A = this chain, B = another copy of it.
Amino acid sequence: MNNIVQDCPCISCMDRSIPVSVLSEKELEIFCNNSVKIFFQKGERIIKQGTFSSNITFIKSGIFKMHINGPLNRDEILKIGKGPAFIGIPDVFVSRTHNYSVSALTNTDACFIDFEGFSYLIENNGQFATEILKTLSYDLLDHFSRCVHKTQKQLTAFLAEALLFFMDTIYESDEFEIPLTRSEFGAYIGTTRETITKIIHDFTKDKIIEVNGKSILILNKNILQKISNTG
């Protein structure tokens, strides 16, 4: 009963996160001893752009946005994701400061792992290193795709893509509450809140979606897909 590993809360994440699952008992202990869990309320900032980055963040549960303050002082959302996920990895490996902010879009459980401990695991467990590499690789390819779609597609198509993303990836349901204001939605798509309003209005008029404030119901996924594909 007095087993350290049993007291380690990180053990509960072994079946949530693949990188965590490849750790040995001893390594899991190191992981635990170098991390703290913190609860964030919807809307709270988890990482602030510009602050020093001395730890990796693991989003245990919750939906979050990665956003960055651009050259025109406008906020832009780089990515929306949900736990379980490691975030902030590129920052600690490259610069001493965070290059972007991360905020909670729903109530969120997050764990902060000290870089020393994280780095030790990378250096000493090749499988862990490989899994983290996979995570970063996926993030990079995902962002390539998003960036290309953003520049090449028309706004209507790119917004359709975003709705499909919420439906298929984030909520896995055709009915959901968008965790963004119209302005934030604009920052995600790369446009203004006015244009978001207009396109959403068009979609409801064509009976593609049903909207009531923030709650959205997808009525015709096929057409949405077609709009997204044809650009």
Contacts and interface: CB of A to CB of B under 8 A. Distances in A.
Interface residues of A, number: 47
Interface string A173-202: 000000000000000001000000000000
A85 to B, nearest CB: 14
Interface in A86-141: 89-91, 93-95, 99-100, 119, 122-124, 126-127, 129-130, 132-134, 136-141
Interface of A: 68, 70-72, 74, 76, 78, 89-91, 93-95, 99-100, 119, 122-124, 126-127, 129-130, 132-134, 136-141, 143-153, 157, 190, 229, 231
Given A123-B127, A129-B133, 19 more contacts: A70-B151, A70-B152, A71-B148, A71-B149, A78-B148, A90-B140, A93-B137, A94-B137, A94-B138, A95-B141, A99-B144, A99-B145, A100-B144, A122-B129, A122-B133, A123-B126, A124-B126, A129-B130, A146-B147
